[in-house]
Amino acid sequence: MEIDNLYSAYDAKAELDALLPEIETALERLDDEGSSVPPDGMSIVAESRLVELRSLVSPDFDFRKLVRLCEEINSAYSLQCHYATAMLIRGLLDHVPLVFGFKAFSKLANNYAGGGKSFKETMHHLENASRKVGDAHLHMPIRKSETLPTAQQVNCGQQLDVLLSEIVRIMR
């Protein structure tokens, strides 16, 4: 917009006033260093884990989609988009089994021995809880009465971090 007279200055101010709420919201989402960590610690995947995942190099796997899924999980969760969070986590579980040599996450949870008993139990929990929550939200048709998912229902950050840390460990 050109400001060549007093009236055009008023028009410019009106346009800026309309954009201000969006600008303020975007600024609130950035932390001091401009990283992708959502405000108030509202993330499922830790920024430090994302840094590790971004640094992985493999001749067999491209980790960009995994990183992007993690970033989108954090974004959806921080915006309280709990349906999207659950579905993205379900998608991540479908995405990673080949890294461990399996075609399905259930096979990984049942058969991967490299992480020990605790890893196996954690993966069972991730498979049996998080996947089922995602499936329920993804495949449930409309009903007469609904309840909406909560942050607690979709947050599987601890179990997901165990999975992601094992990916980092075996790919280094």
pLDDT-derived band at 3, boundaries 50, 70, 90 = low
Give the total number of structural domains in the chain: 2
Domain around 167 = 35-171
115 and 60 co-located in one domain? yes
Position 1 scores a pLDDT of 58
Cβ neighbourhood burial of 149 (10 Å; 0-12, 13-18, 19+): middle
Q: Is the pLDDT of residue 143 over 90?
A: yes
Q: Is the pLDDT of residue 36 over 50?
A: no
42 and 21 co-located in one domain? no
Q: Which residue has the higher pLDDT, 4 or 168?
A: 168
76 and 134 co-located in one domain? yes
pLDDT-derived band at 16, boundaries 50, 70, 90 = confident
Q: Which residue has the higher pLDDT, 34 or 126?
A: 126
HSE-CB at 69 with a 13 A cutoff on CA atoms is 19
State how far the Cα of 141 lies from the Cα of 55, in Å rounded to an integer: 40
Position 2 scores a pLDDT of 62
Map tokens 């979709």 to a residue.
154
Mean pLDDT of 41-64: 94
Position 26 scores a pLDDT of 65
State how far the Cα of 42 lies from the Cα of 29, in Å rounded to an integer: 11
* High-pLDDT (> 90) share of the chain, %: 68
Question: Is there a contact between 64 and 27 (Cβ–Cβ < 8 Å)?
Answer: no
Say which residues have a Cβ less than 8 Å from residue 29's Cβ, sequence separation at least 6. 38, 39, 78
70 and 111 co-located in one domain? yes
Q: What is the DSSP letter of 55?
A: T
